Structure 1
């Protein structure tokens, strides 16, 4: 299984920000405020200077790119205590949730034949954009969701309407899964499972072996679905922001 540092790096590669600058082993990311992952500093490895000074650089980077300063910190990582000592705090008000699970699983466990209801395309349709983001996506949304060398856009269409959507990106042997969404009227009808099965099949065809999902701790329905598909918690991370 992929270790925490490598998995986090691959997830970051699969979720490309508008700006991604190295600070030693850290990555300073900005994407116009679209998602916490693309607008936070990934604090892995040695930043090349003391942590308080590195966090000051995070603040300067955020100000330069018009976003709030935020650090993406793996729970239990050595840097976590240093971030707390620098008087940063867990962002309990983060709109996506302060703490997220990273779940992993083997793709062969839930891959399905190609004749299922879901299809995976190389480009997102207007219906996919409407459900996964919005009808007229911003530049940041197009960059984060629409770019990448091996990206697949899964959807289920019924009577001309996209009722389910998901995004997959293959980085090495990892299929990063995100933006799983099902219209309320189509829920509890197997749409999500069809999407995940089709995306797993697509991922295997593109060299992936395992999947990785980053899901908010409070998103119980998603966690339950992923566990039913054989995925398990790999590790957790939290968002930290400067203290008052």
Structure 2
């Protein structure tokens, strides 16, 4: 009798395959050891996102761990609906505390403390990762602290931006910035409970695939990275930094054949995959989930894809224990604000990016 393991996809109870990577699944595997009392095989179940599958093993990200399963140990598997999010209101949060959470979810490549302040630089990739978080006391008189900031960024050939939060930044900072002729841009910080957000796009959430890494397809739709390889490397570090990072993408249009082996399906083996129709990013940090990088191809807009992306990410965040979501949006971005209004986001607080003039 042959001892060759039966491929997982040939077992009738295994109703998933590598094309389901990125979806939420329930799997059952057989353990290597048998129950010492009965001599029978021991089975283990896991529910979570199927994050990888090759000829040797598959990986499922559960609520709090990564479960690796040898392909020949998989005995059952199926796609399951998104996590059922229960209604819960996020706790009240101090603006300064939420700004610190946001900094952990978008960590700069280079950071340096100046008293309680944090100077951040990432080759110019986004203002958030290339600005000073001015929470607390810099440990110097403000004029000297701002001169240090100016010199620090000049040494890196970057503009000197400061993140000014009220309450949170020291009294007198705005007056000193005004004296120096700083220019300001307003940003809104908006929050929402996760349950309504997850329900808003639940019908289309199964079209969304989740991943731990931003692959080339995802990056092809993300519009904030140019051709400079130094900036691109910095972007990769910032995007993948944070406590628990997830990337979402919608690839296939529902009018296309469901069979992934069909020659005109976007995931057919010999066909290059097109850029996603929509993408998004989420960082889960305790009770909070940060949403960002939500992009939709122009031809695919007004079809609910941004809502579906955020709903899938919200469900995953809730599965990991988060109850509230937040995002940061520029005050003049009317389109994004309208979208977030419809998803239940309200303004928690605002902050300004203040740019110091060069000496």
Residue segments in structure 2 that go unaligned for 5+ positions in a row: 1-91, 253-265, 267-272
**Secondary structure, aligned partner of 1:110:** helix
For residues 207 and 325 of structure 2, the distance between their equivalents in structure 1, rounded to whole angstroms, comes to: 21
Residue 46, structure 1, aligned to residue 137, structure 2:
yes
Structure 2 equivalent of residue 73 of structure 1:
164
Residue 190, structure 1, aligned to residue 304, structure 2:
yes
Structure 2 equivalent of residue 13 of structure 1:
104
Tell me by how many angstroms 1:188 deviates.
0.2
CA deviation digits over 1:126-166, x for unaligned, max 9? Answer: 11111114597711110111233310001111244311011
Tell me by how many angstroms 1:66 deviates.
2.5
Tell me by how many angstroms 1:24 deviates.
1.7
- Mapping 1:48-197, distance limit 5 Å: 48-75=139-166, 79=170, 81-86=172-177, 87-92=179-184, 98-112=185-199, 113=202, 116-133=206-223, 134=225, 138-158=232-252, 159=266, 160-161=273-274, 162-197=276-311
Give yes or no for contact 1:164–1:181 (8 Å, CA) kept in 2. yes
Tell me by how many angstroms 1:82 deviates.
2.5
For residues 116 and 104 of structure 2, the distance between their equivalents in structure 1, rounded to whole angstroms, comes to: 14
Structure 1 equivalent of residue 12 of structure 2:
none
CA deviation digits over 1:167-210, x for unaligned, max 9? Answer: 11112211111111000000000000000100101111122211
Aligned length: 239
Structure 2 equivalent of residue 95 of structure 1:
none
Q: Which moved more, 1:151-160 or 1:99-108?
A: 151-160
Structure 2 equivalent of residue 2 of structure 1:
93
Tell me by how many angstroms 1:35 deviates.
0.4
RCO (CA 8 Å, sep 6+): is it higher in 1 or 2? 1
Give yes or no for contact 1:105–1:231 (8 Å, CA) kept in 2. yes
For residues 231 and 89 of structure 1, the distance between their equivalents in structure 2, rounded to whole angstroms, comes to: 33
Give yes or no for contact 1:101–1:237 (8 Å, CA) kept in 2. yes
Q: Which moved more, 1:72-81 or 1:194-203?
A: 72-81
Residue segments in structure 1 that go unaligned for 5+ positions in a row: 93-97
Tell me by how many angstroms 1:125 deviates.
2.2
For residues 321 and 217 of structure 2, the distance between their equivalents in structure 1, rounded to whole angstroms, comes to: 27
TM-score (norm. length: structure 2): 0.62
| Cα-Cα RMSD | 2.1
For residues 292 and 323 of structure 2, the distance between their equivalents in structure 1, rounded to whole angstroms, comes to: 17
Structure 2 equivalent of residue 236 of structure 1:
350
For residues 195 and 135 of structure 1, the distance between their equivalents in structure 2, rounded to whole angstroms, comes to: 24
For residues 126 and 167 of structure 1, the distance between their equivalents in structure 2, rounded to whole angstroms, comes to: 15
Structure 1 or 2, whichever has the larger Rg, is 2
CA deviation digits over 1:85-139, x for unaligned, max 9? Answer: 24244535xxxxx111000111111114595221221111211111114597711
**Secondary structure, aligned partner of 1:111:** helix
Tell me by how many angstroms 1:217 deviates.
0.5
Give yes or no for contact 1:62–1:69 (8 Å, CA) kept in 2. yes
